[in-house]
A and B are shown apart, each in its own frame.
Chain A
Amino acid sequence: MTGIAFPAPDPSILARKSEIVAALRGLVAAPDAVIDDPVELAAYETDAFTAYRRLPLAVVLPGSTEEVSRVLAYLAREGVAVVPRGAGTSLSGGAIPLEDAVVVGVARMNRVLAIDLANRTARVEAGITNLAITNAVAEHGFFYAPDPSSQLACTLAGNIAMNSGGAHCLKYGVTTNNLLGVTLVLTDGSVIELGGEALDAPGYDLVGLVCGSEGQLGIVTEAVVRILPQAEGARPVLLAFPSSEAAGACVADIIGAGIVPVAIEFMDNPAIRICEAFAKAGYPTDAAAMLIVEVEGSDAEIDAELARIVAIARRHGVTAVKESRSATETAQIWKGRKSAFGATGRIADYICMDGTIPTGRLPEVLRRMAEIVAGYGLRVANVFHAGDGNLHPLILYDVNDPEQAAKAEAAGADILKLCVEVGGCLTGEHGVGIEKRDLMRHQFTETELALQAAVRRVFDPAEILNPGKVFPLDLAKAA
């Protein structure tokens, strides 16, 4: 795909590569922390938005906040662009490099610094993986709630940059609701502490601003996150429906009945078949649509709540009800859902959309999305967080066919415009990155974008952090 423009690289920066690399080597202690060999750099040329790739000038992997500070101050002083990177799992191209930029990765900074059960907090380095936080506190009966599908690989730093969600955020919220404090390195090299172990912080809510800022305000090197006690138990139920409309109406009625499950996940027939073929989770492959609804509590509480949910599902013509009877079955059910993207990747190339819509518009939007994609002669598989209206249509295409690629991109853009049209937004949890950058004007006015850009420049006046992302390239600089 070539539809998305990148800023032209600055030849004067490219010409200084060896000088910049040498200077970076002097700023970080570990001998292998600076990468400039083109073969090794290839590992950093893209993220999970693999249709686009650019080889960066160099990659530096600092080992401490101090090193990040020195590196950032140096690069800012020299006018070199910086692309912050966690694990490179962004689905929107948030971590894709530029040819004249240095990638600053925090993956080596992955320690747990303190666990405080009485306060229900953990202080960690930002390069830690999402799942490693839960693993570090699990023995005490706690967990870290946001659970993106890539949680085995993705870093907290990336989660903070994108304000990542996950399947269980219907009950527990997304990253911003579980983040209490950050250590932030600014482009002038200064290190600031925002928030901490208390539930709120003085002054403007800068922790809230930094969360979801896509690496354009500073680099987060440490964070304090909220950890929660694990539920006594949790049990998912699979509900099969004869139509997507029936499944969508069932979701609305569950919520309307005052029940807030931990998760309500939706899959349509193509997604069910793809995931079942991969995970052997016992999904009903003949169903038009399926919900995974998970509830938590004691056995008796779970029984009572599932009974309410199944009764509602019966009113909507549920064709099969399958409750998990063991931890193994529960793991199977979730494995199918969480491997949806990977499993889809085995049968076709795809682009994954991430718009959010008001849940009441679900049946209509599902129908119109199918029409849009069919109009381009392509196929779509739908798997998404139905409880909060966060859609993940996977548009299937052949990456080696430029015409199909262009069509897939166009269909994706049409779908996101549809999301905005019905009262939703371009991205629920993946971020804007480069992928949705040029659609921002469909959601925001020029003055709204200008105010966001002005706030960004308070932190990074020269816009050296993650340039070319989030904001349309031709956005005028307001006074």
Chain B
Amino acid sequence: MENAKRFILFILLGVVLLTYAGCSRKDKPSDQITICFAFQDLETEYWVAAHKAITETLRARNIRVLERNAHQDANRQLEQIRDAIAQDVDGIIMIPQDGESAVTIIGEANQAGIPIGVFNRPPADRSKPALVVVADNERIAEEAVAYMAEAAQKLNRKMTPLILVGDLGDQNSIERKNGFYKAINAHPDLFKEPIEVPTKWDAVTTLANLEAALQVEPRVDFLFTSSDFLYPQVKAVLEPLGKWKPIGDPAHVILGGLDGDSAAYTLMKEGYVDATGVQDLFFEADAIMEALLDAIEKGQSTPEKWIQDPGFALTQENMAEREMDMWGYRILKAEAGS
């Protein structure tokens, strides 16, 4: 036992000495730029595509990328970015868990004098300088649902709307829900009270909750999913009920979503989906990288710029002209090309 204690004391002494030595040692400076890309998770095709676009582009430019996945935990993201700051990274690109934690994390980067860019989820306020690229989720959702409402009006009956709500801890999800309600409330005579189905951004939860909701209210004929990645679950529930029908069929459920992924494009092409809100993923990714690299080059430690992704609603009406602007379509085309 005495030997073990001596050994531990020896180890601890070693740690103290080496720590002291480590504190006085400095890393060799390198010309290579290092960027920390910290994201909250990759639960949808949108985030996967954004991750791919950002990491591949940066690496192609010989930039060292430190990827950090916070698994939807704001505190973990804060810890990861603090660790990146301790490594003296040249810049940070962050997909924050939410706007509030983004403000705190931007503050950490500002204090360390490291430029930071926020991708797709805006900080809750502009009190701390950052580069921000953001889509207007509320407006895009409202636009898509407004088109769906127009289609519903042609049916001359009172509709039973349902919304698949995302994770209520996610600001994008709340904004999409708000956009949905804005469009619905604009037609008080057309719609019954909307049914809200929580999904927690999880496919299994969505399947179970949507099945339960349709057992209680089988007359649902207007459905908006807060994210396109849930379409397979929508189909799995509607199909056995004879409600998975293309536009024009009397049993067709008016369908819409938001993101603009490849599944949504295919379903629109096949005539199952009426409209989908589209964020311009590639524009957003390019914009944040260019802004950050520009700030690094100019030696700016706390650059500030808000870049707006206007986004749009891709509908059955404008599909022919605008499908090229949908990132899901472009991914499909690229895959087909390769």
Q: Tell whether A pairs with B.
A: no
A-to-B contact residues, CB < 8 Å: none
B-to-A contact residues, CB < 8 Å: none
